[in-house]
Structure 1
Amino acid sequence: MTASTASHPLGRYGWTDVWAADFAPHEAGGLRPGRVVRVDRGSCEIVTTAEDGRVVIGRAGVGPVASADPLLAPCTGDWVALDAEQGVVRVLLPRRTAFVRAVSSQRSDGQVLAANIDQVLIAVSLADELDLGRVERFLALAWESGGQPVVVLTKADLVPDPVTRSYLVEDTERAAPGARVLAVSAATGQGMDALAALLDGTAALLGVSGAGKSTLANALTGADAQRVDATRDSDGKGRHTTTTRDLLPLPGGGVLIDTPGLRGVGLWEADHGVAQAFTDVESLARDCRFPDCSHGAEPGCAVLAAVEEGELPLRRLENYHKLLRENERIAARSDARLNAELLRSWKRKKALGRHMMERKRGPQQ
């Protein structure tokens, strides 16, 4: 970031030389740069600048950039070219990174939860039994997004024994190679300074319902930006206190994108993400006797040897296989959808061509 972009009114919202260069062709047309703060049906809230340079937040229509494809629709974190006079978004600037999940296990659509992110904060509640398989799933998507993952173990005050808490952190670290793991408590402030010091640029906050994301977001932003409800006593799950994806400015600069609690986290074309989340398995695989070893029952499998020696947990290997299979199914369905769309497009063009030929020939006598 240069001095010019650092002093730009939108600098604290993530404006950089890269975005300035992408926006330059649209500036001549009288458009203004802005960033999507929240998306509603048919419109969104945009943080932009007024004529006098003040930072303002206003609502704008998204008609010109609306899309039936969830991957192409405007999303919180997007940078846009805004027609301030008409109150409409004219252009979505190309995304640099994005956290994408499958909409559901029965469909082949992806959904962007946060765009142009630098970090992914994965909130995991210590009030519940630690689900390392779910952590690995989030990590695969986080690595695939292009952001740097940070696993945030929330509600650490509910684990008062420091030895037990240390074991939980160590277990999570073994399941999260390359990612930072922090145990924090928004209630007591434990670990919050360390977490705040890690934040840089745009951080997306994700997790399941009841993970304490809204409380964490309020603590990080220094304001009651998000409503907080207690979790249900029956199952410890939350009530979706955050219902929209919101871009919130942080006191020390940068922004936080808070998201609703997720019930399901399906993979979406996460080949790189799965490999990055399981770098230990991938590293061991390089020593297998056969280059196409599936780490199932082949002789000379270095991965299975590591499991037998206690170096690699069997649970982790099984989850690695599970995520690979799921990712392959999603990729196959996505390819099938693409092929179907191409076929429909070809049929439309063929029908149009036939219609034009019939018009040229004129009515048959």
Structure 2
Amino acid sequence: SALARSRADWLIGMNLSRLFTLLGRQAGYSGVLSVGRVQTPTLKLVVDRDREIARFVCVPFWAIAVALSHAGQSFVASWTPPQGSTDDAGRCLQQPVAQQAAEFLRAAGTAQVLSVETERVREGPPLPFDLGTLQEVCSKQLGLDVQETLDIAQALYETHKATTYPRSDSGYLPESMLAEVPAVLDSLVKTDPSLRPLIDRLDRQQRSRVWNDGKVTAHHGIIPTLEPANLSAMSDKELAVYRLIRAHYLAQFLPHHEFDRTVAQFSCGSQSLAAVGKQIAVIGWREVLATPGPDDADGEDAQRSQVLPALHAGLSCPVGKVDLKALKTLPPKPYTQGELIKAMKTVAKLVTDPR
């Protein structure tokens, strides 16, 4: 890969920078136009996104949220639009169809449960950070820019000696470091005594997917060091980044996060409704890592994480409020720095030419 990088810099970077600078001069531009194997594809990502936003045509659509209840507990079901009235994403594009359905649902009084399906979902902990993922998460959760995150990670490594080498592109850890687990955990308690109750409950023998010699590159994931650190010497931002790195390490020794996802289908005369519920069974590693969903504030998300009452087929649920919503499709958002880093890491998905 080093050879490929060096050839790309010479053959493409240097030659095309000269070519485009000369073409620029012919067009009346006097500066240097540089082409690079990282900067040029990244610029294309941003330009493509800007063009998508500029070309975007907003489409109105309609949705209906229906309040149902059972055994004194209310919950929300969504109307399933009939075929022929929707786009590819299942959104109803025909206002009269939605209005008619809303009027019908308001008059209906009850909805029958057709089926209830529950599946247990188990999620393993996320890996410790590589630099790109750390930058992505710090951009999203802490509002830090990419350079600031790198500077903080460098300071945590060099100045505070609290975390390992930051410029890593792998989140995995070598199996040889399993022997250091007790020392790392002890140093974490010395650094922050309030962690003792949590650390006493960790399963130190647990081997998550993180321990994998085959996936460690030149450097391993960013984790806390074997030496206690001085938290009072850290700035607020350094402390926030340190806590994220620490939580991702501690998560490796906690149980899987488990929840039950329930989907209930209803019929209300000629109309179909569906309600989705979520019940956490084992909090597991999310105890140390409360990772927010895509948009925790948004109503659809709240609907997915609601707890449904005990439902079974054949049950009748009274219909409460019927809310007809006029919505519209939204353009893609401009990249944040964190999202741009993520897009750069997965840029191969955008290349269709096998050669």
Shorter-chain TM-score tier: under 0.3
TM-score (norm 1): 0.18
Work out which structure has the larger RCO, using CA pairs closer than 8 Å and 6 or more positions apart in sequence: 2
Structure showing the higher helix proportion among its residues? 2
TM-score (norm 2): 0.18
